[in-house]
Amino acid sequence: MKLLLPLAATLTLGASAQSLWYDKPAARWEEALPIGNGSLGAMIHGGIAKEHIQFNEQTLWTGDEIQMGNYQPFGDLFFDFSETGEPTAYRRELSLDDAVHRVTYTSGGTTFTREAFSSHPAQLMVFRFTADKPGALRGKLRLTDMHGAPIRADGRSITATGKLDNGLEYQSTVLVLHEGGSVKPDGQALAIDAADQLTVLLSADTSFSNSPARKWRGPHPAKDIESRLKAAAATTYEKLKAEHLADHRALYHRVKIDLGPARDEVPTSSRILEYRKSPTADPGLEAMLFQYGRYLMIGSSRPGGLPANLQGIWNKDMKPAWYSGYTTNINIEMNYWLAEPTNLAECHEPYFDWLRNLATVRKKNAQPAIATDKGWIAYSTNNPMGGNSTWGIHRPGSAWMTQHLWTRYEFSGDKDFLKNRAYPALKELVEYWESYLVEGPGGKLITPTGWSPEHGPVKGKDGKIRLVEGDRTPQPGASYDQQIVWDLFTNYIDAATELGIDAAYRDHVIGLRDRLLGPQIGKWGQIQEWMQDVDDPKDKHRHVSHLFAVHPGRQINPVATPELAKAAKVSLNARGDGGTGWSRAWKINFWARLADGDHAHRILHGLLTPQSGGNGGVYPNLFGAHPPFQIDGNFGATAGITEMLLQSHVRENGVHLIDLLPALPATWKNGSVTGLRARGGFEVDLAWRDGKLAKAVLRAPQGGKARVRANGKIETLTLAPGGTHTIP
Ligand code: FUC
């Protein structure tokens, strides 16, 4: 018999340091590398004579409770260096393990090093410039402001202070600490001469307050900025960095992953091109994409802040695509699929707060088109203040988004959260849908005005039905609405059962759920997207709204509903493996839920490959391409890889089925992952050999019960608080 390595040894063997690296500066924004502390972020270009740092702060929004507005870029920092000589040995890299960006190169016999990070504990960005010869740093430091605010250099700092049309006040201040040489104002810039080392601190903030009760406004940020800079200037670079590393690692290092050999020696821009040709040669790149999603989540979504928008927090455009907002018919939900299972529950919180604020504003500013007596409904595209684009009422959006509150409970077992946050949110929407549904054919309950984002069947003059992009003609009984309502009812029923309350209403909702028009199988064996069987097998639309029941819903799965699961595969095969970044990411999740790891991997390969013509894929900095950059492709890919390794959505009589390696592709022969979370309050480590589970460790900090499927066998597990179970 072959001896198996202990899990810890298995892990350290293949897990490589996760870094994106390049041998040239970024020539465009999609080659620059992101840092972020949840709210304050930058894209670093790594230029030699000119370093360009484009920065953002997540609350810099135009718009208000009514107007959509746009997420705004803040400004830039430019360093113009006056060095001579052709640089050699250039390398820039982003370490995901450390959340530190580094540039090194040699020029004129001097080796220069730059480090940068965005510190959550210190609430500012830190840029460190060093050289291996004294007095080698000279040049100019400039700050820009995207809204034309006055810029003032004073002593060792530069400040820009301005106000947007919606009254939002903002400020950015950069402060230079130098060892050796001099720093002096030079017009609006700072002139640096013969410095040995520089630490540059950048703080940027606004008067935004994340509260409708406070009308979204708090004090001018000047005071906070001053005290952050003062505190950071009073400490050392080493200390700032140590605090940053501890903070980042406490989240990031909860999960480690090894999917096989990693071509870390190849620059990332070439690595993705080689991977395109050889999909099995570099599973390490897939592991890096997985961790990149977690890195970007830590960098763009921290408690107390706003949720990650369509671009996380990283945006250079005054009018970004779709306002860089919160789109509710896939995008914002997809952003958060990874949060619970990849052990970043804290990062989920901004989304819950935003959802609560959106509901508050929707109820208060009931626009006639979406006024409701009970609950609330959303538009497709929203800003942080409950304002929206008027395109597209998205009736089931509130229910879909509220699924996340139930999911949080499933993972955490937090009864207070269930009782005080999830349950009331679910119940008011159940009541809304109870009043909104009507009787359709055969006495089934249907939505009278469904929509399958984002297209619909339209009858032409020739009498033929065609599927038209963006069509919003009401479609009674559309599968998307039906499936989301089923999910809402089911989550509500389970929540009431868990809390042991409202038994009579719960039983009534069970009755309603039984009467819902369910998924139907159409004439070519597909899941029908609409109540009428009008699906076109050639329809390649990017949305796959009618498979919500497969993922992120739980109405269809291969074991409980094999016929429907088969029909879902027919639909998916017809839709194809292409699409925008998020569309491909969703398809990874679908195929994982349908237990086809090889198909999921095929789609992952397409997603992680630069696509000519720009449909989906990634940019050189591994940002997901819609195009343009949309972060859902990154977050959704991480969620999809997780679903390939571990699933726990199936729930019977209050007990979750934890499925270990449900969709492992043949190409991930040997590997391991530690620290994933499963519903029911479990933490899971897995190691596999030759495509088979070799070892699993399940921990239940709070105790818990589950059924566990490993290598085809199911066992029931009950753990006391702090208990651990090992397989085999
Ligand atoms: C939805 C999608 C688009 C895009 C936008 C932000 O409307 O249909 O593809 O992702 O959101």
Q: Is 518 exposed, middle or buried (0-12, 13-18, 19+ CB in 10 A)?
A: middle
What does DSSP say about strands 704-710 and 655-660: parallel, antiparallel, or unpaired? parallel
On the question of a cis peptide bond just before residue 396, with omega within 30 degrees of 0, the verdict is no
What contacts 623, CB < 8 A, 6 or more positions away? 30, 34, 314, 629, 631, 634
Nearest to 366 by CA among 379, 376, 357: 376
Hey, is 629 helix, strand or coil?
strand
Which of 330, 379, 580 is the best mutation target for the ligand 1 pocket, counting ligand atoms within 8 Å of the beta carbon and taking the most?
Answer: 330
Quick one: residue 104, left, alpha or beta (phi over 0 = left, psi -120 to 50 = alpha)?
A: beta
171 Cβ below 6 A of ligand 1: no
* Res 1: pLDDT: 36
Contact call for residues 722 and 703 (beta carbons, < 8 A): yes
Distance 184 CA to ligand 1 centre (A): 48
Give the full edge-to-edge strand order of the sheet including 124-131: 19-22, 88-95, 100-107, 110-119, 124-131, 197-206, 169-179, 157-163, 151-154
What does DSSP say about strands 88-95 and 100-107: parallel, antiparallel, or unpaired? antiparallel
Q: Which two tokens stand for residue 683?
A: 């933490």
What contacts 610, CB < 8 A, 6 or more positions away? 272, 273, 276, 617, 618, 619, 620, 625
Q: Which residues pair with 683 in a beta bridge?
A: 677, 699
* Res 91: pLDDT: 97
Distance 45 CA to ligand 1 centre (A): 28
The residue type at 724: T
327 Cβ below 6 A of ligand 1: yes
Hey, is 125 helix, strand or coil?
strand
Q: Can you tell me which residue has the tokens 């849908």? A: 433
In angstroms, rounded to a whole number, what is the distance separating the alpha carbons of residues 480 and 396?
8
Q: State the DSSP string of 523-578.
A: TTSPBPSSSSS---TT---S--GGGTTTTT--S--TTT-HHHHHHHHHHHHHH-S-
* Res 195: pLDDT: 97
Distance 572 CA to ligand 1 centre (A): 19
Distance 285 CA to ligand 1 centre (A): 27
φ, ψ of residue 482 to 5 degrees: the values are -60, -45
* Res 6: pLDDT: 44
Give Cα separations from 625 to 209, 530, 585, 614, 629 (angstroms).
31, 29, 11, 7, 5
454 Cβ below 6 A of ligand 1: yes
Nearest to 646 by CA among 701, 592, 586: 592
Distance 108 CA to ligand 1 centre (A): 49
Helical ranges in 316-461 per DSSP H: 331-335, 345-364, 397-412, 415-417, 423-436
CB hemisphere CA count around 115 (13 angstroms): 17
542 Cβ below 6 A of ligand 1: yes
Q: Is 280 exposed, middle or buried (0-12, 13-18, 19+ CB in 10 A)?
A: middle
* Res 538: pLDDT: 97
In angstroms, rounded to a whole number, what is the distance separating the alpha carbons of residues 365 and 274?
53
580 Cβ below 6 A of ligand 1: yes
What contacts 502, CB < 8 A, 6 or more positions away? 427, 496
584 Cβ below 6 A of ligand 1: no
Distance 481 CA to ligand 1 centre (A): 18
State the DSSP code for 475: -
| Segment-wise mean pLDDT, segments of 10 residues, the chain, 728 residues | 42 65 97 98 96 98 97 97 82 98 95 98 98 96 98 98 98 98 98 97 98 98 98 98 98 98 96 95 97 98 98 98 98 98 98 98 86 94 96 95 98 98 98 98 96 95 94 96 98 98 98 98 98 97 98 97 98 97 98 98 96 84 97 98 98 97 98 98 98 98 97 96 97
For the CA of 580, the closest atom of ligand 1 is 9
Nearest to 304 by CA among 205, 425, 210: 210
For the CA of 582, the closest atom of ligand 1 is 10
Distance 633 CA to ligand 1 centre (A): 11
Three-point CA angle 142, 78, 43, nearest 5°: 135
Nearest to 35 by CA among 92, 104, 91, 81: 92
For the CA of 626, the closest atom of ligand 1 is 10
545 Cβ below 6 A of ligand 1: no
Which residue has the CA at smallest separation from atom 8 of ligand 1?
454
Distance 579 CA to ligand 1 centre (A): 12
Distance 679 CA to ligand 1 centre (A): 29
Q: State the DSSP string of 228-291.
A: HHHHHHTS-HHHHHHHHHHHHHHHHTT-EEE-S---TTS-HHHHHHHHHH-TTS-HHHHHHHHH
In angstroms, rounded to a whole number, what is the distance separating the alpha carbons of residues 105 and 63?
43
Distance 606 CA to ligand 1 centre (A): 19
Give Cα separations from 511 to 439, 482, 497, 514 (angstroms).
14, 15, 15, 5
Nearest to 409 by CA among 665, 137, 585, 654: 654
In angstroms, rounded to a whole number, what is the distance separating the alpha carbons of residues 314 and 35?
9
In angstroms, rounded to a whole number, what is the distance separating the alpha carbons of residues 172 and 204?
4
For the CA of 321, the closest atom of ligand 1 is 6
For the CA of 329, the closest atom of ligand 1 is 1
* Res 13: pLDDT: 42
Give Cα separations from 305 to 59, 411, 544 (angstroms).
8, 22, 31
Nearest to 680 by CA among 709, 711, 710, 649: 649
331 Cβ below 6 A of ligand 1: yes
Rounded (10°) angle between helices 283-300 and 268-277:
130
Q: Is the pTM of this model over 0.85?
A: yes
335 Cβ below 6 A of ligand 1: no
Which of 331, 389, 390, 400 is the best mutation target for the ligand 1 pocket, counting ligand atoms within 8 Å of the beta carbon and taking the most?
Answer: 331
Contact call for residues 568 and 527 (beta carbons, < 8 A): yes
Neighbours of 690 (CB within 10 A): 8
Q: Which residues pair with 33 in a beta bridge?
A: 44
Nearest to 608 by CA among 596, 623, 595, 597: 623
What contacts 424, CB < 8 A, 6 or more positions away? none
Distance 367 CA to ligand 1 centre (A): 23
Give Cα separations from 56 to 52, 76, 316, 543 (angstroms).
13, 9, 8, 30
CB hemisphere CA count around 645 (13 angstroms): 33
Distance 521 CA to ligand 1 centre (A): 27
